[in-house]
Structure 1
Amino acid sequence: MGCLMAVILAAGEGKRMKSKKAKVVHEIFGMPLVEWVYRSVKNAGVDEVVLVVGHKAEEVKEKMGDKALYAFQEKQMGTGHAVMQAQEYLNNKDGYVIVLCGDTPLISSETISNTINYHKENANSATIITAELDKPDGYGRIVRSSDGSVKKIVEHKDASSEERNIKEINSGMYCFSIKDLTEALKELDNNNSQGEYYLTDTIEILISKGKKVGAIKVEDSSEILGINDRAQLVEAGGIIRNRILKRHLDNGVTIIDPASTFIDEDVEIGIDTVIYPSTIIEGKTKIGEDCIIGPGSRIVSAQISDRVEVKNSVVLESSIDDDTKVGPFAYLRPGSKIGKKVKIGDFVEVKKSVIGDKTKISHLTYVGDAEIGSNVNLGCGVVVVNYDGQKKNKTIVGDNSFVGCNVNLISPVEVKSNAYVAAGSTITDEVPENSLAIARSRQVIKEGWVEKRRILNKQEKDQSK
């Protein structure tokens, strides 16, 4: 059978993007364009992937890491020249290679698999991925022989009037038998007005040698859409977004308003969860069953268990256990771990803290770098004062404790289990178990102070005249 490889062309500058970044690292739903192509390739069962990089090569390598092998194209001298740079990985190998573009994020793993299978079944030297367009102007046309094989690819400017009526176009993506491709690459030249080496010329070379060249047409022409500017980036994003939403709908998730809902590719959502409008779910978020998410929530790389409600809130890189309610207008910052049957209410911020089961933090509270036990009540306006100006310090509140409204817990400090802290207290020392802590000034009443102050103010004004 031989090896199964892919070469992804990712060296272009993409001037029309008008960006300081390499074109292929622009993202759609949390992934660079080239990553979408890479994943489709790997999901199609390809063993080895070579990325041909050039413009801002280090930026592309930083995004893709060690997932792929790399070939470097110092000067962008055409698609054929780009594939030549990967030839060291192809030499002396037997098998198949699929050549794709790093700026075509809509190409599916099914299309890649179908192309490879079609190529093998028909014993082709090369197979072209094609599409049928109602308006094919500007594209190379696929001219077929009577047996369905490819006779030639003719560019629009060189096509006859009859050939221009052909609607099947070349996508610029191919499957080759490796040995045939490497032989054809040896004969490529750049005797053209651009002085470039074109991969399409390998098709002409193979046909001239009597090799069999076929073409497989994609059912959905959007799969071949290349990203050349920001408008096409938006267009491709809309198509991917609809694919993702449909997958979740098919899996038993209710999405009330798909038009205002954005979900990244790697998100997992359980059945009978309801996603309300204006919700954004990003990264590697996993949401369980029977949850209510939104409206107006943003969740990033979070782990959310079953029957959780997150309303009008932000959850970043945190976990929420079963039957917990978050929001509205709560903010869970990275590193927070929220237990079962917890209430995180309105305008509560939690940062890098553990909140035990059945604890209630109902409103207007900040908890940072803390361990809050089970069945604890933190009243309105509680602040964990975790930063001393140099370092973050830890606060611990034991199980079944009650912390009253407007309490400051000055870290590092511990409130033991079953303790009470009176409202308005500033706690700097340990609160023992089963005790009540009161740390506030005694109330003082000064009778007639307001009238005295008014008279004094009048006198000061008169003297200043």
Structure 2
Amino acid sequence: MQAQAALEGRARHVLVLYGDMPLLQRGTLQALHERATATDAAITMMTVTRDDPQGFGRIVRDASGQISAIVEQAEATPEIAAIRELNVGIYTFNAAFLWMHLPQLQPSPRKGEYYLTDLVGMAAAERLPIESLQTSDPLETLGINTRVELALAAKTLQRRINEHWMLEGVTFQDPETCYLDSTVTIGRDTVILPNTHLRGKTTVGASCEIGPNSVIENCTIGNRCRVTASVLEEAVMEEGSNIGPFGHLRKGARLCRGAHMGNFGEMKNSTLGPGAKMGHFSYLGDAIVGADANIGAGTITCNFDGKRKHPTTIGEGAFIGSDTMLVAPVEIGAGARTGAGSVVTHDVPPDSVAYGVPARVREKKDQES
């Protein structure tokens, strides 16, 4: 009734449906619209036959099989309540019929509510045509009234998403434990392992292996990448890179082509260059690491001084020894090395060796015996 002023005169048909049926598909509504257009009935309505009425009204038909009324559950006698053909609350009305008869609705004497379904009785009394379309999938008409029904709807939607990608050539080792948003895209021949969550605008390339036990949100993952038991947020993995287990790529992290980040590593706003390796127990923040560099276990970029973030640059082919502290801002030149346990507070020139606390440049690599 409230919508009449806004809609009257704008269309030949008016589609009415509930807002708590997330499993309805476009094709179903399209079929209902086509039936209404072809028959030009006063009312074209969707029905479903199932054992659980979910509080829906019952479809009452006359001896010829024509719909004569819809009786709401609250108003139903025991005989009518036993009917299993249900009104799911989805209609296409002939607009002229709707706007003419809508003001004639009266409140229910039992509950004081206006029932849109009374329009069916009006159309039947005037011997106007009433068409119906029965859905082939009862789950499409599932209404959400409890958290149990919400969980069932979510599981059904997830099954549809996973089946779509399986038909596109993606392998799910256990589809029941993989959770994908509808906005995610995946390339062919990728394998999704159990307990994997792909969220937001994540894009996964072809021939990847994702999971198990991984959460990936708003990330771009290239072809032939591997993510094992890791968490990725707004990060990029280029072709052939890999992470895990138990790695964490935070916002702005990038693994370049062929880069490797092992267990218990973390990166934020940093780039690990092509072929570079960060094996385990390390943190890179606001860092740029060149191609083929090696980040030893326990390396930390000390990028925050309590007030500001500072950058660290590590050149191509550099070797950062285990437990090195890189106190930013600092630059490690191409081919340079740091000794295990060093605290680097100043730049290290290319092809040099620095070690100690604080670290000092001791020699050039070409002077090593």
TM-score, with length taken from structure 1? 0.72
Give runs of aligned pairs for residues 341-356 of structure 1, distance below 5 A.
341-356=258-273
Q: Which residue of 2 aligns with 1:76?
A: none
Q: 1:337 to 1:85 in 2, by over 3 A?
A: farther
The answer as to whether partners of 2:54 and 2:143 remain within 8 angstroms in 1 is no
| 2:301–2:328 contact (8 Å) kept in structure 1 | yes
Q: CA deviation at 1:95?
A: 3.0
Deviation at 1:297, TM superposition (A): 1.2
Indicate how the Cα distance of structure 1 residues 188 and 376 shifts in structure 2: closer, same or farther if over 3 A, else same. same
Aligned to 1:368: 285
Q: 2:155 aligns with which of 227, 231, 238?
A: 238
What is the match of residue 296 of structure 1? 213
Larger helix proportion, structure 1 or 2?
Answer: 1
Which residue of structure 2 aligns with residue 195 of structure 1? 112
Q: CA deviation at 1:394?
A: 1.8
Residues in 1 aligned to 2:78 and 2:232: alpha-carbon distance in whole angstroms: 59
- Determine the C-alpha separation between the residues in 1 that align with 2:69 and 2:106: 18
Give the superposition deviation at 1:244.
Answer: 1.7
Residues of 1 paired with 2:317 and 2:10: CA distance?
A: 68
In structure 2, do the counterparts of structure 1 residues 211 and 432 end up closer, same or farther at CA, with 3 Å as the change threshold?
farther
The whole-number CA distance in structure 2 between the counterparts of 1:422 and 1:382 is: 11
Do residues 89 (structure 1) and 10 (structure 2) align? no
| Alpha-carbon RMSD | 2.2
Which among 385, 402, 407 is matched to residue 302 of structure 2? 385
Aligned counterpart in structure 1 of residue 240 of structure 2, from 310, 313, 323: 323
**For the residues of structure 2 that align with 1:352 and 1:367, how far apart are their CA atoms?**
8
* Equivalent position SS for 2:281: strand
Instruction: Report matched runs for 1:7-18 at 5 Å.
Output: none
| Farther off after superposition, 94-103 or 118-127 | 94-103
Partner Cα separation in structure 2 for residue 375 and residue 95 of structure 1: 67
CA drift at 1:315: 1.1
Question: What residue number does 1:168 align with?
Answer: 85
Provide, for residues 369-388 of structure 1, a one-character-per-residue CA deviation record: whole Å limited to 9, x for no partner: 22222221111111011111
For the 8 Å contact 2:218–2:234, the answer to whether it is kept is: yes
* Change in 2 beyond 3 A, CA 1:408/1:114: same
Deviation at 1:423, TM superposition (A): 2.3
Q: What is the deviation of 1:368?
A: 1.1
Q: 1:409 to 1:96 in 2, by over 3 A?
A: farther
Contact 2:108 2:115 in 1 (8 A): no
Query: What is the CA–CA distance in structure 2 between the aligned matches of 1:191 and 1:135, rounded to whole Å?
Result: 24
2 CA distance for matches of 1:301 and 1:100?
33
Call closer, same or farther: CA 1:232–1:135 in 2, change over 3 Å.
closer
* Aligned with 1:408 (options 302, 306, 325): 325
Q: Which residue of 2 aligns with 1:268?
A: 185
2:36 aligns to what?
A: 119
CA-to-partner distance for each residue in 1:339-390, whole Å, 9 max, x for gaps? 1101010100011212221110111100112222222111111101111112
Match of 2:169 among 236, 240, 252: 252
Contact 1:127 1:216 in 2 (8 A): yes
Shift of 1:414: 2.0
- CA spacing shift, 1:365–1:152, aligned 2, 3 Å: same
| Aligned residue number for residue 199 of structure 2 | 282
Question: Given that residues 314 and 332 in structure 1 are in contact (C-alpha distance below 8 angstroms), is that contact kept between their aligned partners in structure 2?
Answer: yes
- Greater Cα shift, 110-119 or 419-428: 419-428
State, as a whole percentage, how many aligned pairs show the same letter.
36
**What is the aligned partner in structure 1 of residue 365 from structure 2?**
none
Secondary structure of 1:347's counterpart equals coil
What's 1:204 paired with? 121
Please say if 1:150 is aligned against 2:67.
yes
Query: SS state of the match for residue 263, structure 2?
Result: strand
Q: Distance in 1 between matches of 2:103 and 2:300?
A: 71
Structure-1 separation of matches of 2:100 and 2:220? 51
C-alpha displacement of 1:332: 0.8
> What's the CA shift for 1:147?
6.5
SS in structure 2 at match of 1:128: strand
Q: Give, in whole Å, the separation in 1 of the partners of 2:203 and 2:146.
A: 32
Structure 1 residues 404-455: Cα deviation after superposition (integer angstroms, max 9, x where no partner): 111111122222323222222212222223333334269xxxxxxxxxxxxx
**Structure 2 unaligned regions, length at least 5:** 360-369
Instruction: Specify the code of the residue in structure 2 equivalent to 1:429.
Output: H
What's the CA shift for 1:145? 5.0
Q: Are 2:21 and 1:104 aligned? A: yes
- Alignment check: 8 A CA contact 1:149 1:215 kept: no
For residues 122-141 of structure 1, the aligned pairs below 5 Å read: 122-136=39-53, 138-141=55-58
CA deviation after TM superposition for structure 1 residue 159, in Å: 4.8
Match of 2:362 in 1: none
Which residue type is aligned with residue 281 of structure 1?
Answer: L
Q: Distance in 2 between matches of 1:137 and 1:412?
A: 64
Counterpart among 247, 251, 275 of residue 334 in structure 1: 251
Residue identity opposite 1:155 in structure 2? E
Alignment partner, residue 336 of structure 2: 419
Q: Which moved more, 1:359-368 or 1:91-100?
A: 91-100
Q: Retained in 1: the 8 A contact 2:241–2:256?
A: yes
Amino acid at match of 2:51: D
User: Aligned-pair distance for 1:149?
Assistant: 4.5
CA distance in 2, matches of 1:367, 1:295: 24
Separation (CA, whole Å) in 2 of partners of 1:225 and 1:137:
8
Structure 1 residues 343 and 159, CA gap change in structure 2 (3 angstroms): same
